[in-house]
């Protein structure tokens, strides 16, 4: 059973660059650092409702060269969405019946480079041509699963929502609702904003599907990641902290959701459109 978003993946050209950018942005150090035998370096930030994994090439092994080729072709940015499962075998069977062609379940193991600790998990993925172009992974955490640490109010404690753009909202409804089984929380067409918004809730965060009304519906066109909205306890403190670190931030303003205040981080986020939010319901 899918019970949340286990983590999201941002691809960076170098792990120290990615870890430094998001360590500053989130206001916390990585909770896990590792390098795989294939040349993939990772820095993981464990939040209250999901995790952010920074991935970068390390060395010249095959996986590292593959990542470099992707960065050359696509640029850095938000690349994958990994759902958390409490029954990986059951979810694998269910998605097979729904023609999503999941790969075989694999065992995963990671050892922290800075301390004697390890994490284990089981996972599989679905091909992008089954999921409208978005990379989906499914993860069942095992030994060594991380727990979030408490942070000051001006630092990020959770992911409020992530946004996926789609040229085909009905297909997205079928994928994330009927096939994946996420709870539909809202389906609203807002001409004043020029968009149809479809909200799915899982594990304390929102997967937001956006369709621009000016964009002709394209039955076969791919979906793509848009951006992330990080949640903080004190929006003014977060704004002052990021401005003091040299981030190009907008003014704090009233959010679209009742009771919220937000600001935009205009650049310096590895090509990920970024918003900060406080207030309203988590």
Rounded CA Rg of the chain: 18
Last residue of a domain, one of 116, 141, 166: 141
Q: Looking at the structure, do residues 70 and 134 belong to the same domain, yes or no?
A: yes
7: pLDDT strictly greater than 90: yes
Averaged pLDDT for residues 253-265: 95
Q: Looking at the structure, do residues 203 and 267 belong to the same domain, yes or no?
A: yes
Please indicate, yes or no, if residue 148 is contained in any of the structural domains: no
CA distance 142 to 282: 27
Q: Tens of pLDDT along 49-77?
A: 999 999 999 988 889 999 999 999 999 99
Last residue of a domain, one of 108, 141, 174: 141
Q: Looking at the structure, do residues 263 and 184 belong to the same domain, yes or no?
A: yes
Q: Looking at the structure, do residues 58 and 181 belong to the same domain, yes or no?
A: no
Please indicate, yes or no, if residue 151 is contained in any of the structural domains: no
Q: Looking at the structure, do residues 100 and 27 belong to the same domain, yes or no?
A: yes
197: pLDDT strictly greater than 80: yes
What pLDDT is stored for residue 108 in this prediction?
94
- In sequence order, the β-bridge partners of residue 95 are none
Q: What total of structural domains would you count in the chain?
A: 2
282: pLDDT strictly greater than 70: no
Please indicate, yes or no, if residue 149 is contained in any of the structural domains: no
Q: Looking at the structure, do residues 182 and 224 belong to the same domain, yes or no?
A: yes
Q: Tens of pLDDT along 122-175?
A: 999 999 999 999 999 999 999 999 999 899 999 999 999 999 999 999 999 999
Burial 98-136 (b: 16+ CB within 10 A, else e): bebebeeeeeeebebeeeeeebebbbbbbeeebbbebbb
Contact 264, 252 (CB under 8 A): no
Q: State the pairing for strand pair 40-46/51-57.
A: antiparallel
CA distances from 13 to 198, 246, 260 (A): 32, 21, 34
CA angle 126, 129, 130 (to 5 degrees): 50
DSSP 8-class letter at 249: B
- In sequence order, the β-bridge partners of residue 41 are 35, 56
Q: Looking at the structure, do residues 112 and 163 belong to the same domain, yes or no?
A: no
pTM given for the model:
0.96
- With CA atoms as reference, report the closest residue to 225 among 4, 5, 10: 10
Please indicate, yes or no, if residue 232 is contained in any of the structural domains: yes
Here the CATH number for the domain that contains residue 127 is 3.10.180.10
CA distance 125 to 252: 39
Res. 218 pLDDT band, cuts 50 70 90: confident
DSSP 8-class letter at 179: I
CA distance 208 to 171: 14
Q: Looking at the structure, do residues 128 and 183 belong to the same domain, yes or no?
A: no
- With CA atoms as reference, report the closest residue to 43 among 143, 155, 150, 146: 146
Contact 239, 261 (CB under 8 A): no
Please indicate, yes or no, if residue 25 is contained in any of the structural domains: yes
Q: Torsion angle, CA of 230/163/133/58, rounded to 10 degrees?
A: -20
Structural domain of 46:
2-141
């Amino acid at each position: 059973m899918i019970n949340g978003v286990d983590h999201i993946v941002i691809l960076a050209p170098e792990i120290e660059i990615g870890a430094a950018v998001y360590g500053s942005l989130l206001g916390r150090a990585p909770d896990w650092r590792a390098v795989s035998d294939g040349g993939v370096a990772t820095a993981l930030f464990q939040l209250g409702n999901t995790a952010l994994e920074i991935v970068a090439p390390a060395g010249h092994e095959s996986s590292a060269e593959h990542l470099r080729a992707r960065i050359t072709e696509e640029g850095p940015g938000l690349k994958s969405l990994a759902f958390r499962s409490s029954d990986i075998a059951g979810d694998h069977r269910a998605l097979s019946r729904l023609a999503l062609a999941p790969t075989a379940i694999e065992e995963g193991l990671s050892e922290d480079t800075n301390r004697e600790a390890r994490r284990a998990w089981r996972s599989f993925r679905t091909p992008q041509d089954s999921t409208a172009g978005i990379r989906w992974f499914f993860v069942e955490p095992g030994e060594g699963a991380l727990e979030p640490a408490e942070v000051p109010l001006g630092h990020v404690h959770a992911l409020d929502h992530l946004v996926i753009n789609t040229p085909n909202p009905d297909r997205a409804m079928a994928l994330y609702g009927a096939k994946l089984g996420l709870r539909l929380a809202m389906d609203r067409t807002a001409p004043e904003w020029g968009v149809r918004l479809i909200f799915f809730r899982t594990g304390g965060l929102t997967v937001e599907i956006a369709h621009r009304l000016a964009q002709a519906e394209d039955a076969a066109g791919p979906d793509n990641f848009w951006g992330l909205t990080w949640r903080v306890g004190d929006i003014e403190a977060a704004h002052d902290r990021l401005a003091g670190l040299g981030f190009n931030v907008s003014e704090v303003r009233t959010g679209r959701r009742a009771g919220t205040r937000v600001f935009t981080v205009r650049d310096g986020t590895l090509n990920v459109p970024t918003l900060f939010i406080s207030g309203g319901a988590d």
